[in-house]
Amino acid sequence: MSVPTEAPARILVAGIGNIFLGDDGFGVETVRALAGRQLPEHVEVVDIGVRGVHLAYQVLDGYDTLILVDATARGEAPGTLYVIEHDGVGGNEPPGAALDGHRMTPDTVLALLGTLCAGTGGQPPRRTLVLGCEPASVEEGIGLSPPVSAAVPEAVRLIEELLRADEPGESAPRATVGEAAK
């Protein structure tokens, strides 16, 4: 008689950004690179782009871990990568704030998710991480700047490390502030 094993936790890796605004397309380019890799079946990689409302509703399908990949300006050198653990869903948007489905930051998506979970009884992910990259420019234009483009392979490596760390017995990498991709 075999003992039933627990199904692996579902993980969603979502690339966020507008490819028409230079380095804002970092998340989209990173998940495109990640999609070509061999990943466990319980990991879903999606190019969300500017469809933040779609992402919030997709997360309601039940994921244990959510990894958002996005350009994240924090004042470091362009191409610097950050791993930021989000400490809870919702709470950063004022009640009744107008939502623009094409200009939703990760915080806005998470606030909407908190509202949707409260309204539907759904559960937010147990863990939410943001893998951010310091942009050089988010002006109109297609293509990443050289430092942000060079950070994409390192971002893919970090995501793979985060996926391994989400498995039992592994430890997560810490924030990589100041660690620019080479």
Is residue 180, in this structure, part of any structural domain at all? no
Length of the chain, in residues: 182
The model's pTM is 0.75
Residue 141 makes CB contacts below 8 A (sequence gap 6+) with 20, 21, 22
pLDDT digits (tens, 9 = 90+) for 138-153: 999 999 999 999 999 9
> How many other C-beta atoms are found inside a 10 Å radius of the C-beta of residue 34?
23
In a domain, residue 172? The reply is no
Residue 131 corresponds to which tokens in the numbers above?
Answer: 């893998």
% of the chain at pLDDT higher than 90: 42
Is the predicted pLDDT of residue 84 greater than 70, yes or no? Answer: yes
CATH number for the domain including 40?
3.40.50.1450
112, containing H or E segment: helix 106-120
Identify whether 44 is part of a domain: yes
110: in domain: yes
- Answer yes or no: is 56 within a domain: yes
Q: Is 87 contained in some domain?
A: yes
Residue range 153-179, pLDDT digits in tens? 999 999 999 998 765 444 444 444 344
- Our count of domains for the chain comes to 1
**17-76 pLDDT, tens per residue?**
999 999 999 999 999 999 889 898 899 999 988 877 777 777 777 888 889 999 999 999
Whether 93 is in a domain gets the answer yes
List, in order, residues 6 or more apart from 30 with CB less than 8 Å away: 15, 69, 131, 133, 152, 155, 156, 159
- Give residue 64's domain range: 11-165
